[in-house]
Amino acid sequence: MMLGRTSDDHLQALADAAEAYVLHAFGQRLEIKPSAPASLPHFVLDRYKLWLGTLNGRSVALMAIREPRQGATSDYLKHRDLVRQRLGADLSLLLLDQAPNAIRRQMIERKIGFLSPGTQLYVPEALLDIRERTPSITTATTDHISPTTQMVLLATLQGRGLEGSKMTDLAVRLKVSPMSLSRTLDELEALQLARPHHIGRQRHLNLAVKGRELWDAVRDRLQSPVRKTRMISGRIDVLDAPLAGESALARYTMLAAPRRQCRAVLSLRWKALETAHSLKPAALFDDDQIEIQTWTYDPTILAQNGVIDRLSLYLTVRNSLDERVAQASEELLETMEW
C-alpha cells in the first residue's frame, strides 16, 4: 500500500472509479455520497473517509483508509461494525486503491467485504464475488480512445503541463483513479504515442509525439464526450457546469450566442447536481431553461473561465449539420497554438 496520508481528492477519485466499476461489472448504481456523521468518534472520521450508498437494494457504507499503516486490517475489523451501526448500513466495504493478490486473499480469508475498482468486488454477506477475469485490452487495433486517455491527450495538446508527471500526480490533477491512469499509460504505449518511463517504482507520462503531429495522429480516434443531452429548468453555477455547445462556441468565435444556454457536467455527477440545485425537467414555457450535456469525462477539469476547452468543444460540434456551427468549429482549430 502507498505510504503517507492520502488526499481527499485522491480518495474521491477512487470513489468515483468505484461507482463506474460497479456499474460496468454489476449493472448497479452505488449512488454514494460522502458522510461524516457527528455520531462517529473523531478518531474514526480522522482515519477513514466514508460514503453512504446502495448496492443491490441494500444500504452500503464505503470506507477508505486515509493513512495506510501496519495493522490497518485489524484496526478496520474493530471499526467496521461501529460504522455500520452508527450509519445504519446493511453492508460495509473497504475501498482499496492498490490491491495485490496477497491483500485480497487476506480480505477474503477474514470475510472482509472490499471494493477495488477495476479488480474485484467482494461482499460476503451477499455472497457476491466479481473479479476482473479478462486481460487488459490493447487498443492499438481499436477505433476509439478511452475517455480518460482522451482527457490526458487533450490536456497535453492544450499546454496543461502534464508531460513528465508521475501517475499519482496525474490522477489527482485529473480527478481519476490511479488504476484508470495506469490503463491510460498502457493504452498510449500500445498506440505507440508514449514510451515506457519509470523513476523508481513510479510510472511517468512520456509522450513520443507532441503538438500538431499528436493531434493528427489521434483526431480520428477521438469521440464526442457527450453521452446524453437533456432540457432542464433551474440555475447552476458555471463552476459546476461550464458553458458548452453553441454557448461555448460563441465565446471562442464570432458565432452568435444561442437564446438558451448549454452546459456540460460529468455523467456520474449529474444526479448529485440535480438534487443540490433543485433542477427539474423543463416545461414548454419555462423562462429558465438550460440544455445540459452529460459527459464521459469531467468537463470542469479542462474548462477555463467557465467555458469547456476548445478541443473537447470541437469534438462535440464537428459533425453538426448546421453550416454556421461547422464553420465555427473549424475556426477553433485555426486558433490553436500547437
Q: What is the pLDDT of residue 136?
A: 37
- CA distances (Å), 252 to each of 9, 158, 186, 222, 318, in order? 31, 15, 34, 21, 14
* Chosen domain end from 167, 201, 218: 218
Q: Are 7 and 74 in contact (CB under 8 A)?
A: no
Give pLDDT, residue 255: 93
Cell numbers for 77: 475489523
Instruction: Please report which confidence band the pLDDT of residue 2 belongs to, taking 50, 70 and 90 as the band edges.
Output: very low
**Quick one: cell of 45?**
472520521
Q: According to the model, what pLDDT value does residue 66 have?
A: 84
- The pLDDT mean for the chain works out to 86
Which pLDDT value is given to residue 137? 32
Is 335 a member of any domain?
no
Q: Which residues fall within 8 angstroms of residue 321, CB to CB, at 6 or more apart?
A: none
Contact 258, 320 (CB under 8 A): no
Indicate the DSSP class of residue 26.
Answer: H
210 lies in the same domain as 233 = no
Phi and psi torsions of 283, nearest 5°: -95, 165
**CA-angle at 169, arms to 130 and 151, nearest 5°:** 70
Same-domain pairing of 109 and 159: no
Q: Point out which residues pair with 232 in neighbouring strands.
A: 281, 290
Q: Given a cut of 90, is residue 102 above it in pLDDT?
A: no
**Cell numbers found for residue 212:** 500538431
Q: Quick one: angle between helices 211-218 and 147-157, nearest 10?
A: 150
Render pLDDT for 190-233 as a digit per residue (tens, 0 to 9).
Answer: 888 998 888 877 889 999 989 999 999 999 899 999 999 999 99
**Cell numbers given for 89:** 448500513
What amino acid occupies position 287?
A: D
Per residue, what are the HEC states of 170-181? Answer: HHHHHCCCHHHH
**Closest by CA position to 73, among listed 103, 115, 35:** 103
Please report, for the domain that includes residue 12, its CATH number.
3.40.1350
Whether the per-residue pLDDT at 90 is higher than 70: the answer is yes
Q: Domain range spanning residue 151?
A: 147-218
The reported pTM is 0.59
Q: Mark whether 38 and 115 lie in a shared domain.
A: yes
Q: Which of 106-110, 137-141, 291-295 bottoms out in mean pLDDT, i.e. has the lowest?
A: 137-141
Per the CB < 8 A criterion, the answer to whether 82 and 40 are in contact is: yes
Among 131, 161, 178, residue at a domain's last position: 131
Average pLDDT over residues 295-307: 96
Of 59-68, 135-144, 226-235, which range is least confident?
Answer: 135-144
Do 67 and 35 have their domain in common? yes
Residue 230 lies in a domain: yes
**Residues 117, 63: Cα–Cα separation, whole Å:** 14
Is the separation of the CB atoms in 212 and 147 below 8 Å? Answer: no
The reply to whether 136 falls in a domain is no
- Cβ contacts of residue 209 below 8 Å, gap of 6+? 193, 217
Q: Are residues 20 and 124 in the same domain?
A: yes
Is the residue at 236 inside a domain? yes
Question: 110-119, 139-148, 301-310: which has the highest mean pLDDT?
Answer: 301-310
Q: Is the pLDDT of residue 4 over 60?
A: no
Residue 175 lies in a domain: yes
Compute CA 26 distance to the chain's CA centroid, rounded to the nearest angstrom.
18
> Helix (H, G, I), strand (E, B), or coil: what is residue 122?
strand
pLDDT at 105 over 80: no
pLDDT of 134: 37
**Torsion angle of C-alpha atoms 317, 318, 321, 324, degrees rounded to 10:** 80
Model confidence pLDDT, tens digit, residues 10-38: 888 888 888 888 887 777 788 899 999 88
**What's the burial of 70, exposed, middle or buried (CB within 10 Å: 0-12/13-18/19+)?**
exposed
Task: Report d(CA 122, CA 160) in Å as an integer.
Answer: 38
What angle do the packed helices 8-26 and 178-190 form, to 10 degrees? 70
CATH number at residue 207: 1.10.10.10
Least confident among 211-225, 252-266, 274-288, 295-309: 274-288
pLDDT at position 141 is 39
DSSP state of 201: T
- Residue 28 CA: distances (Å) to CA of 22, 125, 141, 262: 6, 17, 30, 29
Mean pLDDT of the region 92-106 = 78
Would you state the pLDDT for residue 73? 63
pLDDT of residue 151: 96
Residue 153 lies in a domain: yes
User: Which of 190, 218, 246 is the endpoint of a domain?
Assistant: 218
Run of H or E including 20: helix 8-26
Q: Which amino acid is at 33?
A: K
Q: Tell me, what's the pLDDT at 99?
A: 65
Nine-digit cell at 281?
A: 425537467
Domains in the chain, number? 3
